[in-house]
Amino acid sequence: MTRVALSMAIAAALGAVVAAALHADPAVPGWLAAIAFLALATAAGGLARALDAPADLHEERHPLGPSQPAALPPGALTRRGLFGNMWAYAAGAFGVLALVPFVALARRRAPRGTAWSPGARVVNADGTALKADDIDVGGVTTVFPEGNVGAPESATLLIRLEEGLLRPQPGRAGWAPAGNVAYSKICTHAGCPVALYRHASYQLYCPCHQSVFDVLDAARPLSGPATRALPQLALDVDAAGYLIARGDFSEPVGPDEWDRPV
Ligand code: FES
C-alpha cells in the first residue's frame, strides 16, 4: 500500500508538469499536485502504521551465547528500507512539482504576428490593390494584406491625411507615403474593432468602451480605458504605385492579455 501511494505521488507530480507544459487549464496541474500531496500523506500514514508495534507484542528471550540474526525473506521491508524509500519518493515528488511554475512560464506564448509582411500589397475588403492616391484626403477604409482579406488580426485602418500633418515618432519618418497612415483596427483595450474616425479632430473612436486615439500622434490613447497606442503599419509605394507594407506592425496587435498565458 505504501509503495502504491508513493508511486501515485510521483505519477501525479509528473502529470502536473506535463499538464503545465501542454498549457492545460491551470486547475489541472493544481489538482494533480493535490493528489500528489494526498498520496504522500497516505504513504506516510502507512509507514507510521508499519512501524507502530502492537502493545502486546512480545518476543521469546534469545538463548545466551553467540547467535546470527535471522535472514529476512526476499522482498521484505525493513525500517531502514521504508524510510529510505519514503524520503527518496517524497524528494522526487516535491522536486518534480517544483518544476511546474517554471514549465508554465516557459510556455508563455510569443507575441503573435499578423499576415503583413515586407512587400505585401495593401488591398481593400474586395481584394483590390490600392494606390497611394486612391483614397481621398479625410477618407478611411479597412485594408488587409493581399491574399489575406478578412484575416482578423491583420485588419488595418488606412487613413488619408493632408501631407505634413502627421507627427511621426522617431524612426517612423516615411511610414505614411502621400499622407496614407495605417493603424491596427484592433483596440488595445479589449480587442474590439476601432470603427469610427472623425477627420475634423483626427481621432479614432472605439465603440466598445469609448477609447479615443490621436491619429496624428501615432494613435496614442487620449481618453478611455485603452492605455496603449494602436500599432502602426509602416507603408511604402512599389514601382507600380501601389501601397505596400514594409513589414508587420510596430508592436503586437490587440490587448496585452492576448499574449499572456491562459
Ligand atoms: S475595446 Fe476599445 S475601448 Fe474597450
Complete DSSP assignment for 238-257: -TTSBEEESSS-SS--S-GG
Do the beta carbons of residue 164 and residue 175 sit within 8 Å? Answer: no
pLDDT band of residue 110 (cuts 50, 70, 90) is very low
Judged on CB neighbours under 10 Å (0-12, 13-18, 19+), 159 is buried
pLDDT value of residue 117? 97
What is the 146 CA–ligand 1 centroid distance (Å)?
A: 27
**What average pLDDT does the structure give for the chain?**
83
Q: Which of 185, 194, 211, 213 to mutate to test the pocket of ligand 1 (most atoms within 8 A of CB)?
A: 211
34-43, 168-177, 245-254: lowest mean pLDDT where? 34-43
Q: Which residue has the higher pLDDT, 58 or 10?
A: 10
Q: In this predicted model, what pLDDT tens digit does every residue of 204-259 receive, in sequence order?
A: 999 999 999 999 999 999 999 999 999 999 999 999 999 999 999 999 999 987 66
Measured from the CB, is residue 209 less than 6 Å from ligand 1?
yes
pLDDT band of residue 80 (cuts 50, 70, 90) is low
Instruction: Give, as one character, the DSSP assignment of residue 216.
Output: G
pLDDT value of residue 108? 47
Kindly report the protein residue whose alpha carbon is nearest to atom 1 of ligand 1. 190
* Residue-by-residue DSSP string for 127-168: --B-BTTSSPTT-EEEEEETT-TT-GGG-EEEEE--TT---P
39-48, 66-75, 135-144: lowest mean pLDDT where? 66-75
Average pLDDT, integer, range 42-67: 65
* Residue-by-residue DSSP string for 11-63: HHHHHHHHHHHTT--THHHHHHHHHHHHHHHHHHHHHHHHH---TT---PPPP
Measured from the CB, is residue 187 less than 6 Å from ligand 1?
yes
Atom of ligand 1 nearest to the CA of 194: 2
Measured from the CB, is residue 208 less than 6 Å from ligand 1?
yes
Kindly report the protein residue whose alpha carbon is nearest to atom 3 of ligand 1. 209
Average pLDDT, integer, range 65-90: 64
Query: Domain 122-259: which topology?
Result: Rieske Iron-sulfur Protein (2.102.10)
Could you tell me which of 123, 122, 218 has the C-alpha nearest to residue 172? 218
**Domain spans in the chain, listed from the N-terminal domain onward:** 2-52+78-106, 122-259
Cell of 51: 512501524
Look up cell 524528494; give the residue: 91
Atom of ligand 1 nearest to the CA of 226: 3
pTM of the entire predicted model: 0.60
